[in-house]
Every structure is written in structure tokens, then in C-alpha cells.
Amino acid sequence: MEFEEIYKIYWDRIFRLCMGFVNDYDAAQDLAQETFIIVWQKLEAFRNESAIGTWIFRIASNNCLRQIEKQKRFPKSDLSIHLLEEKQTSLEPQIQFLYKCIAELPETERIIISLELEDVKQAEIAKIVGLSEANVRVKIHRIKEKLTQKFKENGQQ
């Protein structure tokens, strides 16, 4: 598969995965772009030991986790209250709230639910996160319960 085709097929899915991690439009775009730079650089080394989508999601997940670790080491200074996030306002309020809730989950849960939302098969999710399929199923169920509870608490439908 050529890079351009991979990019067209996976860009939106990788972007949404990154959004689930950072809940910031610009940061998610940067992370998705960095992911595809890595994919482009390492595509020739891909050994077909897993599906290409699994490989790409693994790269994206690792990239997001590295970014989160960097942010923990170098906390952002508080931005001015007068700066507005204009790009996220285009998202529906419920979707914004969902991204916010996902971003608050522990890292592994963030990966799992973001991949589940992208219709990645549970067997592939298990490979990406290094858990058994049964454990992934249980975690997905529990994560959905957590998110449902947050929506109920917030008055969302």
C-alpha cells in the first residue's frame, strides 16, 4: 500500500484518536501529522506482522503517550483568559464533552475507547495495548459505563 493511500484512509481516524488524548484541535492535528511522518519514514520497514491499521494506531498511541509525558515534565504556563479556542467551537457540544471526558481517562483507557470509537476490532485493540481480548472487552464495558455516568451527571443525553 502506498503512503498516499494510507494517509487518505487513516487520517481522520488517527486525528480523532489524537483528539481523544489531548482534547485540543491544534495539538491533535500536530500529533496526527507527527504520526504520519513516522509512518512515512518507517513504511518500508513494516513487516506485515499485523494489519497496517494496527501498526499505524500503535504508532499514533505511542506518539500521543510521549506527548503526554512531555507535558507532564514541562507543564504549560497558564494561557491568557482572553485567548479563545475558535476551532473547537465548530464541534457539537456533546462531541466536545465526549473528547473532554475521554481526555480525563487514564492513558490505557483513552487508547482503548478511542480505538473502539474508530471501529478497530477488539482483537486489534488487544494487540495494540498488549492485553487479552477478554480484558479489552471488560475494559470497554467499564469505560462506557464511566462515560455514560459523566454524561448523566452533566445533563447530556
- pLDDT given at position 87: 47
Tell me the pLDDT of the chain (157 aa) as tens digits. 789 999 999 999 999 989 888 888 899 999 999 999 999 999 998 888 888 998 999 999 889 888 877 777 665 554 444 444 444 444 588 888 888 899 899 988 998 999 998 888 999 999 888 899 999 999 999 999 999 998 888 876 5
Task: Check residue 77 and report its DSSP letter.
Answer: P
Domains delineated in the chain: 1-82 (1.10.1740.10), 88-156 (1.10.10.10)
DSSP string, 19-66: HHHH--HHHHHHHHHHHHHHHHHHGGG---SS-HHHHHHHHHHHHHHH
Residue indicated by cell numbers 493511500? 5
CA 89 to chain CA centroid, Å, is: 19
Contact 108, 38 (CB under 8 A): no
For the whole prediction, is pTM greater than 0.85? no
